[in-house]
Amino acid sequence: MTFSIVGRSADGSALGVAVASKFLAAGAYVPAAAADGGALATQAYANLALRTEGLALLRAGRSAADVLAAFFAGDPQAAERQAGAVDARGGAATFTGDRCQPWAGGRAAEGPAGSFAAQGNLLAGPEVVDAMVTAWTAGDAAAPLARRLVSALRAGQDAGGDPRGKQAGAVLVVAAGAGYGGLSDVVVDLRSDDHPEPIGELARMLDLHELYFGRTPDEDLLPLDGDLASEVRARLATAGYASRDLTRDLYDWMGRENFEARWHPAALDPVVLTHLRATT
């Protein structure tokens, strides 16, 4: 009743999971990831212990294949389980018990586009997994991992997905020190728990995530002086920020608008300027 893809970015810096299912809030159960270990998905008659015990094994240096083999060897209901995993070194593995409801199966591989494990159960057919694999391997390997994972999900859905329908989706990506304020490893953690088009909703939220938390290259930042400084000062005054300190006013306004991740003390992000112009 679920299809998912677990992946490691081509440069090895990020790990993540994306999942879609006709199952309420699937993102609360399926994905798990740790920047210092790996990422995994547990589904079908999911054994949620894999999210903690599996990550512990990955952090201890066990390969993705070893983790799944060891975990399910001790699970008396392994025949009803399905899972996929990648480790921080690039290993990938998938597991499908022989009592998962058909169609059920998966594919895992390592390569220059980044390691992946794609799997699903109660699917329209093997073409769902095949479509996810094609989207992963043929897509832009340099694209953000969350985008690649969601694109693979969309391809799986377009190939038939879960024939019972659509309900929930989620994407989780981690990378060391790459989260909010540099104080977290969680880069993206988005869920669409109950929506008629959950994958489309994930894509919409990823657009917002990029708007608020993306970073413009330093060479594309705008010097905050001259005519631009005058314009920004006037627009901030319209928004209620009119002290003599332009830098402080801009900082406070950006915080109110949730653009703190795009703050630069001596320059202005053009994405922020576009928003300022549109709202003042």
Q: Are residues 26 and 82 in the same domain?
A: yes
Whole-number pLDDT of residue 63? 98
Please state the length of the chain.
Answer: 280
User: What CATH number corresponds to the domain at position 145?
Assistant: 3.60.20.10
Residue 34 corresponds to which tokens in the numbers above?
Answer: 């740790």
Q: Are residues 10 and 108 in the same domain?
A: yes
Whole-number pLDDT of residue 266? 87
Q: Are residues 117 and 147 in the same domain?
A: yes
**pLDDT per residue as tens digits for the range 256-271:** 999 999 999 889 999 9
Residue 33 corresponds to which tokens in the numbers above?
Answer: 């990831």
Mean per-residue pLDDT, 90-95: 98
In sequence order, what E strands does 65-203 have? Answer: 81-87, 92-96, 105-109, 116-121, 168-174, 186-192
**Boundary (domain end) residue, out of 213, 231, 251:** 213
| 98 phi and psi angles, rounded to 5 deg | -80, 0
Q: Is the pLDDT of residue 29 over 90?
A: yes
Contacts of 34 (CB under 8 A, 6+ apart): 15, 55, 58, 59, 174, 185
Q: Are residues 200 and 235 in the same domain?
A: no
Q: Are 136 and 30 in contact (CB under 8 A)?
A: no
**Boundary (domain end) residue, out of 197, 213, 229:** 213
Q: Are residues 203 and 227 in the same domain?
A: no
Band of residue 51 on the pLDDT scale cut at 50, 70, 90? very high
* Average pLDDT in the chain: 97
Q: Are residues 119 and 247 in the same domain?
A: no
Amino acid at 241: Y
**pLDDT per residue as tens digits for the range 155-210:** 999 999 999 999 999 999 999 999 999 999 999 999 999 999 999 999 999 999 99
**Boundary (domain end) residue, out of 213, 236, 259:** 213
Q: Are residues 143 and 95 in the same domain?
A: yes
Domain limits for position 171? 2-213
The Cα 266–Cα 44 span in angstroms is: 52
Mean per-residue pLDDT, 131-137: 98
Q: Is the pLDDT of residue 83 over 90?
A: yes
State how many domains the chain has.
2
Q: At 31, which helix (H) or strand (E)?
A: strand 31-34
Q: Are residues 165 and 262 in the same domain?
A: no
Q: At 154, which helix (H) or strand (E)?
A: helix 145-158
| 245 phi and psi angles, rounded to 5 deg | -105, 100
